[in-house]
Amino acid sequence: MERAPALDIEPTARERANPLAGAVRWLFRTQEGILLVVLIALCLLLARLSPVFASERNIFVLLSQMSMTAIVAIGMTLLIVAREIDLSVGSMQAFVGVVAMQALNATEHLLAGLAVALLAGVAVGLVNAGLTLKLKINSFIVTLAMFSIVRGLAYTFTAASVQNHHKLESFRAIGTGFAFTLPGIGRVPWPVVIAAAIFALFAVILNKTTFGRAVYAVGGNPRAAELSGIRVDLIKTLCFVITSVLAALAAFILISRMNSGQNNAGFGFELQVIGAVLLGGASLAGGQGTLLGTLLAVLLLGTLNNGIVLLGINSSWQVAVNGLVIVIAVLLDARRRRSLGQD
Amino acid sequence: MKSSIGFRARRLGQIGALLAAGMLIVPVAMAQDATPNAAAEGDAIVRAMDPNNLPEEWKIPAKVTHVTNYGVHEWYQNLIKGEEARAAEYGIDFSQVDANLDLQASLAAVEEVAGQVDVINFTPVNEEASGPTITKIAKDTGKPIICESSPTEGCTTLVSIDDFAAGFKVGEWAGNYAKENFDGAARALDVGLPALTTTVARSEGFAAGLKSVLPDAQIVASVDGKGLKDEAVKVAGDALTANPDVNIIFGINDDSALGGLQAFESQGGDTAQLLVVGFGCEGNACKDALMEGGPYKVSAAMFPEYQGRLLIDAGVAAFNDVTLPAHIVAPTAAVTADNLGDYYTKGDEGYAANFDAIAKISVEGEK
């Protein structure tokens, strides 16, 4: 099963012969291309309207804020391509946050806190996969239940928040520090570096490995994948676990940025993530979607939200914009499926 | 003659009517005079109540339930602690039911507990929508319903702070601080919550208080942090890049203020040139931040534990037919590292409220 970009129309012989025509076609006929055009147009508009939009400071603030959404969206892309979904990633920001901060306070060791966070991610992922695949319950239902259970656990762990009592410098650096300085550009924040590394890793995994091909195959046609020897349940289990672990990693970065574990963190985060993945071209019907599309959608949404605040527009519009994006994404998904005769 | 008799009769009738009207008007006027007095008296009774020294004829309600709107918030957890402790002093069986921001669940809970308790404490999910149900239950059962946070039709009384006045207090404090430390320059970022009237009043009160000291002070941006720290970090981050010269951050609650501070720090801002002003100070996070000596220097403390006491005391008073005012104003204070110790004592289990000191805070002129 080949992965399919959003508006998948084979290039013509003329386009193959002329790379420029191919590029233009890619820009205006694929979802990734359209997202890139819209993103560039939005950036140019905001740079014109706001004197600070293109500043180094704003760009890195913007990229830092989007990093956590991007990290989780990478996992969610795999899961949606595999024809499953995880609604618990928002509640995980709260649950993993309070648990990890408690572990950090108890051990005063960065790696111990990170390990607890990632293990919590593995545990939630395995439960999601087990209930979905073994009991044959729709992952929407399972993870909706997990959404409540995990949030409830976060409330049970702490009255409101777990404060930073360990004062580890390295912990604060993860969310607010800078990894290195790019000559002529500026200091690059750690969250951006982490997100970029995870993107590169999973781009290779999804596009260049047997596992990646299996993810598309499982999502495109699970029965055919099974008949061709792919262990569908194993692939889906791995996708669930990857998503939860990446959600846990994002939660760890978030608590570093907030300097506390909050039991009310991550409200609506799952919608931002799923909205971005769908806008990026992934299909809820499975088998379709690219990490590039997801990344561009995350950048577009983040830039839009950033612009709303920079232009002094009531920031409550951010919520409406996120909802609107989901509607647009679903419409694009429906259009794509119609074009592929999947109705 | 007929007309003379008629005139006299009309005259007598008019005099009679005047006398009758006078007989009605005087008591009504007296009652109107008496009502505010009775309410003020009721307010004073509630503030001075002592479970061990009640009038002999008073009865103690057996059961009190508080139907809260969002019990997982630290405010309500500390408020409930205060109510539980006070109820135990009276020997009242106290319980809590939480609606978790579900209006239907909230009203259903009030209907459910109405038959089982003597007094209902109630925090509305939506005050306007709750009004008709609360009015009906109050009328049908005749039981006192003591509201918290927002005024709701049908409630016996409301126990809550004056949000505007509390915002004004910390705004004024911030103005004086900026005068002394920032050469009178004040460019403030408001991390607000425009969806609620109470939090809007906090922001407005802060701005008014700040400008009362520094008329040229500016609120350079107002953003919606939704009362959540992660959201506050995000929107404050964006607002601070647009307004890098902000030197005061106001948050409508602890999380908003601390989120604004984190956003400022993560952008490498000079915290020596920053003042963070919070609101609520219900949890340890605010108190610890105040004591750290960093830019978080003042917060409008709302003393949830003390409000919990007031709620129970108001319920006991209403149960004994004491006339209460429409609003019992709960005290607030601009708390800083210097005076936090007056209101809270830090122990092994966190901060314990000093009720005597809080009770002495004046609420004169607040509504």
* Per-residue model confidence (pLDDT) at position B233: 95
Q: Residue B205 above 90 pLDDT?
A: yes
What count of CB pairs under 8 Å joins A to B? 102
* Per-residue model confidence (pLDDT) at position A25: 77
Chain B residues lying within 8 Å of A50, measured CB to CB:
242
Q: Is A309 on the interface with B (CB under 8 A)?
A: yes
**Out of A260, A265, A309, whose CB is closest to B242?**
A309
* Per-residue model confidence (pLDDT) at position B27: 40
pLDDT band of residue A89 (cuts 50, 70, 90) is very high
Domain membership of residue A152 as a residue range = 34-40+56-339
Q: Under 8 Å CB-to-CB from B291, ≥6 apart: which residues?
A: B337, B340
Query: What number is the average pLDDT over the span A21-28?
Result: 79
pLDDT band of residue B230 (cuts 50, 70, 90) is very high
* Per-residue model confidence (pLDDT) at position A23: 83
Domain ranges in chain B?
Answer: 63-161+304-330, 163-301
pLDDT in tens, A259-313: 999 998 999 899 999 999 999 999 899 999 999 999 999 999 999 889 988 888 7
Higher pLDDT, residue A29 or B344: B344
What is the rounded average pLDDT for all residues in chain B? 89
Q: Tell me whether strands B119-122 and B63-68 are parallel, antiparallel or unpaired.
A: parallel
Q: Is A257 on the interface with B (CB under 8 A)?
A: yes
Chain A residues lying within 8 Å of B195, measured CB to CB:
316
pLDDT band of residue A8 (cuts 50, 70, 90) is very low
Q: Which one of A10-19, A22-31, A140-149 scores highest in mean pLDDT? A: A140-149
Chain A residues lying within 8 Å of B258, measured CB to CB:
258-260
Question: Per the domain annotation, does A5 fall within a domain?
Answer: no
* Per-residue model confidence (pLDDT) at position A10: 58
Chain A: give the shortest CA distance to residue B256, in Å.
Answer: 11
Question: Per the domain annotation, does A115 fall within a domain?
Answer: yes
Q: What is the CATH T-level fold of the domain B63-161+304-330, as seen in this structure?
A: Rossmann fold (3.40.50)
In chain A, whose CA is at the least distance from the CA of B237?
A61
| Backbone region of residue A108 per phi and psi (left: phi > 0; alpha: psi in -120 to 50; beta: other values) | left
What is the rounded average pLDDT for all residues in chain A? 89
pLDDT band of residue A4 (cuts 50, 70, 90) is very low
Q: A3-17, A179-193, A244-258: lowest mean pLDDT where?
A: A3-17
**Out of B194, B240, B285, whose CB is closest to A316?**
B194
Same fold, B63-161+304-330 and B163-301: yes
pLDDT in tens, A202-243: 999 999 999 999 999 999 999 999 999 999 999 999 999 999
Q: Measured between alpha carbons, how far is A284 from B162 in angstroms, rounded to an integer?
A: 50
pLDDT band of residue A341 (cuts 50, 70, 90) is low
Higher pLDDT, residue B24 or B302: B302
Chain B residues lying within 8 Å of A312, measured CB to CB:
221, 242
Chain A residues lying within 8 Å of B239, measured CB to CB:
309
Q: Residue B10 above 80 pLDDT?
A: no
pLDDT in tens, A94-114: 999 999 999 999 999 999 999
**Out of B230, B235, B258, whose CB is closest to A265?**
B230
The verdict on ipTM greater than 0.90 is no
CB atoms < 10 A from the CB of A311, how many? Answer: 13
Helices (H), strands (E): how many in chain B?
12, 14
Q: Is A175 on the interface with B (CB under 8 A)?
A: yes
Chain B: give the shortest CA distance to residue A170, in Å.
Answer: 14
* Total structural domains within chain A: 1
Q: A13-22, A35-44, B177-186, B274-283: lowest mean pLDDT where?
A: A13-22
* Per-residue model confidence (pLDDT) at position A342: 56
Provide the residue count of chain B. Answer: 367
Q: Do the beta carbons of residue A143 and residue A87 sit within 8 Å?
A: yes
Q: Is B104 on the interface with A (CB under 8 A)?
A: no
Q: Residue B18 above 60 pLDDT?
A: no
pLDDT in tens, A321-338: 777 877 777 777 677 667
Chain B: give the shortest CA distance to residue A33, in Å.
Answer: 27
Question: Per the domain annotation, does A334 fall within a domain?
Answer: yes
**Out of B73, B238, B266, whose CB is closest to A306?**
B238
pLDDT in tens, B333-357: 999 999 999 999 998 878 999 999 9
In CATH, the architecture of B163-301 is 3-Layer(aba) Sandwich (3.40)
Burial of residue B20, with CB atoms counted within 10 A of its CB: 0-12 exposed, 13-18 middle, 19 or more buried:
exposed
Q: A231-235, A256-260, B20-24: lowest mean pLDDT where?
A: B20-24
Query: What number is the average pLDDT over the span B55-78?
Result: 93
Higher pLDDT, residue A24 or A190: A190
Q: Which two tokens stand for residue B174?
A: 């911030």
CA A30, A32, A38, A40 torsion-angle sign:
negative
* Per-residue model confidence (pLDDT) at position B197: 86
Q: Residue B16 above 70 pLDDT?
A: no
pLDDT in tens, B174-201: 999 999 999 999 999 999 998 788 899 9
Question: Per the domain annotation, does A160 fall within a domain?
Answer: yes
pLDDT in tens, B295-328: 999 999 999 999 999 999 999 999 999 999 999 9
Q: Is A52 within 8 Å of B241 when comparing Cβ atoms?
A: yes
pLDDT in tens, B28-42: 343 344 477 888 999
* Per-residue model confidence (pLDDT) at position A113: 97
* Per-residue model confidence (pLDDT) at position B12: 46
**Out of A163, A258, A309, whose CB is closest to B239?**
A309
Chain B residues lying within 8 Å of A258, measured CB to CB:
229-230, 233, 258-259, 262
In chain A, whose CA is at the least distance from the CA of B283?
A160
* Per-residue model confidence (pLDDT) at position B32: 40
Per-residue exposure over B213-229, b if at least 16 CB sit within 10 Å of its own CB, e if not: bbeebbbbbbbbbbbbb
Nearest residue to B182 via CA among B251, B240, B248, B236 = B248
pLDDT band of residue A43 (cuts 50, 70, 90) is very high
pLDDT in tens, B105-156: 999 999 999 999 999 999 998 888 999 999 999 999 999 999 999 889 999 9
pLDDT in tens, A143-163: 999 999 999 999 888 877 898
* Per-residue model confidence (pLDDT) at position B7: 42
Q: A12-16, A47-51, A263-267: lowest mean pLDDT where?
A: A12-16
Q: Residue B6 above 60 pLDDT?
A: no
Task: Quickly list DSSP for A258-323.
Answer: HTEEETTTTTTHHHHHHHHHHHTT--TTSSB--HHHHHHHHHHHHHHHHHHHHTT--TTHHHHHHH
For residue A113, the domain's CATH number is: 1.10.3470
Q: Residue B1 above 90 pLDDT?
A: no
Q: Is A159 within 8 Å of B77 when comparing Cβ atoms?
A: yes
